Homo-oligomer: A and B are copies of this chain.
Amino acid sequence: MPPSRRMTLKDLAAELGVSTASISNAFNRPDQLSPMLRERILNEAKRLGYAGPDAKARSLRTGRSQIIAVILAESLTYSLNDAVASELLSGIAEVLDAHGHTMLLLSGRQHGSETHGSTNMADGYIVYGLMPSMTMLSELPAQNPLVAVDFDIEHCPTIHIDNEPASYSIARHALLTPPKRPAVINLRLTKQPCNGRITDEHDLFSAHHTITRSRLMGIHRAFKESGIDPASVPMWNVEENIHDVCAPVIADILDQPEEHRPDLLLCMSDRIALTALTLAEQRGLCVPDDLRITGFDGIAEGQYRAPRLTTVRQDSIEKGRLAARMILGLSPKEQKYLSTELLIGESCP
């Protein structure tokens, strides 16, 4: 064997004077050869610097790569820095790791428009969030399993949370103390991109297109029950769930004259709510006395602070675990709804 080349299983077999099958079995199927021979092969392999079968060849031969791809609707940069997506990923990683699989990260928003060539190497796909384009999904190998999280794909197992009841419950809690001027800050709810006040001019996405529409329906149900006409409640919208996009919208809301400024902000995410909290504090507004704020998600950042955020906790880690178990065939592939939990903090007691 030329020393420049990496040692192969065949080289090792020749070196030891055994068949390639025995080498393979020594690494993969201990019951297929005598313990003594196996011991000898493993020892010699280590001594000669053969670290085990090549994964590229193995995956071609077996048809499986032990790789599960997670396809994120958002960019990888956003997803990796978003607490909710990160929790989902860690739940997935935990289960995959425990079962000898690894996680490949892909985004529905690639650099180019084309799918990465290595995409079809994965044994299965977990798709998180509504994809900007469905062409990518249609190009995936049809026989490989697919699980959708937070949105629906026809004929696919999906995992959701109970968005409408969850936001109903938090809105109902907030409305126990009647607000003078309630307001709602939505996330990507309008068909026309809008960072600001939502007007009659705007068309809203359906619940099929954005989970925040379901959340809004829950909030509206609570308003009606409290005798408040939802149409009378001003709404704002932000396009991105990041501080720098939320901040100017919220600044406009808070910088209104006091008689117009809301005293209750129902926010569609903790990120929006935390941005509102920061801007309120910077303006010397007292939370919750001058302004009550609620979020949605239950991320750590909202709970490890003073005042703590009143919010709905969704267990994204468990979502990820379940998605991974479905993909690996450890849980039945079905339509699954996870429940949420109301967390009452000091931002809206």
Contact = CB atoms under 8 A, between A and B. Distances in A.
Interface of A: 6, 51-60, 63, 65-67, 76-77, 80-81, 83, 86-87, 89-90, 93-94, 97-98, 100-107, 110-111, 116-121, 139-143, 243, 274-275, 278, 281-282, 300-301, 304-306
Contacts of A274: 304
20 contacts: A53-B117, A55-B121, A56-B56, A56-B65, A57-B60, A59-B60, A59-B118, A65-B121, A66-B118, A67-B118, A76-B94, A80-B87, A80-B93, A101-B118, A102-B104, A102-B105, A102-B106, A103-B105, A243-B304, A301-B301
Number of copies: 2
A103 B104 contact: yes
Contact of A56 (B60, B107, B281): B60
With most chain B CB atoms within 10 A of its CB, the pick from A53, A90, A97 is A97
B306 A282 contact: yes
Contacts of A142: 6
Contacts of A120: 51-52, 54-55
Nearest to A4: B143
A47 to B, nearest CB: 14
A55 B60 CA distance: 9
A322 B57 CA distance: 31
- Kindly list the 4 A-B residue pairs having the minimum CB-CB distance in the complex, ordered from nearest: A55-B121, A76-B93, A77-B90, A281-B306
Contacts of A83: 81
B80 A86 contact: yes
Nearest to A79: B90
A141 B54 CA distance: 10
A121 B59 contact: yes
Contacts of A59: 56, 59-60, 118, 121
A117 B98 CA distance: 13
A313 to B, nearest CB: 15
B76 A80 contact: no
A93 B118 contact: no
Contact of A80 (B60, B90, B139, B304): B90
B86 A81 contact: yes
A60 to B, nearest CB: 5
B80 A6 contact: no
A236 to B, nearest CB: 19
Given A6-B143, A81-B87, A97-B111, A118 B55 contact: yes
A304 B246 CA distance: 11
A6 B97 contact: no
Contacts of A103: 76, 104-105
